[in-house]
Chain A
Amino acid sequence: MATEESFKRIIDMLVELKDTSELMMDLAYSSILYNSKELAQEVHVLEEHMDNLHTEFELLVLARCIKPEESKHFLGLIRLGVVTEKIADAAAQIADVVLRGLEPHPVLKLAIKEAEETVTHVHVSEKSALAGKSLQEAQVHEETGMWVLAVKRGDKWIRPKPDTIIEAGDLLIASGYTEGEEDLKKLASNERHKHHESKL
């Protein structure tokens, strides 16, 4: 691999590690809120993904011929990678409470609700106005106030970017205020016309 190319790959991976670790935290808190083993399981799927990614990331950094004067900067990179892993571990620890079948204490749910917005998931139907649009075009946040945290397509998790195309059959995980939840559900099902009416 050319030097520049490997560098770009390293950076992309670091960005993905960071984003994934943050997504895992959101999902972990949601798993508690819903007492959902399914969401908790997703945290574990992501953790495995993180483990692989992190190893690949470290190998790629080590494979570079690092000049002595650059070594500190690359150490900084490696440490950032370790931090994302630590955050991922913390998320898994939270999700484990649910997987171990401990009914989350009401205080826990209250704290998550009061500290944060709600989290929900919706399936995108074939007739949905969202299908075939990029996230940017779909304007989910503008229409519903919900932020799309993650897209699950088949077995794959996608951390959404503005140009990510939403496909029919996608599962969207979103966070935001409760009022937006209904709007998002309508948007993801087939009520194409409600899409604009919701603004009125």
Chain B
Amino acid sequence: MTRLEKIKYKPVPVRELLIKMKDLSELMIDLAYSAALFNSRPLAEEVIELEKQVDTLAYQLDMSAMLAARDAKDAESLVGVTVVAAATDKISDAAGDIATIVLREIGIHPIVIKAFKKMEEQLTKVETKPNSVLVGKRLAELELAAKMGVDIIAIRRDKECIVNPKENEMIKKGDIITARGAPRGVEGFEKLAEGIVQKLES
């Protein structure tokens, strides 16, 4: 039997939920195409994980929107919000479909990969090991963009996903980090996160 998480109402503002859904759906599309092009299972799995989060957010948003309507006029105005939220949910499903191409080992024709390689940037997903030099540091002190041309685009911690984390965000052990950059930079970043390389060179 399929087991799905029970969803309870949470007093979270509609605006916050919608921003989260929009950000996540856009991140997922990027991740999914990247997963397909580089035939990366970890990225594809991340997409599936985020899809579950978006599903949950969609329920919560609908509940909050229902509670926010006091009269017919409110309902007319709020229906657009739920329609847009449903569209972001659809996009996250679409990203999930791309991830499935990878997870079912269907694959994409190699020539397509070449054609899409104008995307010189690569995405990666990596979990920070306790001994990684990244742990306990804020993004601002790491200066990953300047030092290795790598951008952290999302951090998943427990059940939270922080999209486009701010400069003062601190990396913790066990964080699932999604990062973007040129292939060499990305490779270097993975080694730092896994604690294989201990020195952050500039």
Contacts and interface: CB of A to CB of B under 8 A. Distances in A.
A70 interface: yes
Looking at chain B's contact residues, the main secondary structure is helix
B109 A73 contact: yes
- Chain A interface size range: 35 or more
A90 B87 contact: yes
Interface of A (DSSP majority class): helix
A80 B36 contact: yes
A76 B109 CA distance: 7
A40 to B, nearest CB: 12
B34 to A, nearest CB: 12
Interface in A30-67: 32
A108 B84 contact: yes
Contacts of B78: 105
A96 B86 CA distance: 13
B81 interface: yes
B57 to A, nearest CB: 12
A110 interface: yes
A105 B83 CA distance: 11
Interface string A108-120: 1011101110000
Contacts of A93: 83, 86-87, 90
B12 to A, nearest CB: 13
Given A86-B97, A93-B86, A75 B106 contact: yes
B91 A87 contact: yes
Contacts of A91: 87
A89 interface: yes
A158 interface: no
Given A25-B91, A73-B109, A94-B87, A108 B18 contact: yes
A77 B33 CA distance: 12
B7 interface: no
B15 A96 contact: no
Contacts of B97: 79, 82-83, 86
Given A76-B106, A90-B88, A108 B22 contact: no
Nearest to A97: B80
A76 B101 contact: yes
A90 to B, nearest CB: 4
Nearest to A114: B19
Contacts of A22: 29
Interface string B51-69: 0000000000000000000
A11 B15 contact: no
A77 B112 contact: yes
Given A18-B33, A103-B77, A107-B18, A70 B94 contact: no
A29 B88 CA distance: 11
User: Could you say which of A79, A90, A93, A116 has the most chain B C-beta atoms within 10 Å of its C-beta?
Assistant: A90
Contacts of B110: 73
Interface in B106-120: 106-112, 115-116
A170 B90 CA distance: 33
B36 A105 contact: no
A2 B20 CA distance: 47
A89 B86 CA distance: 11
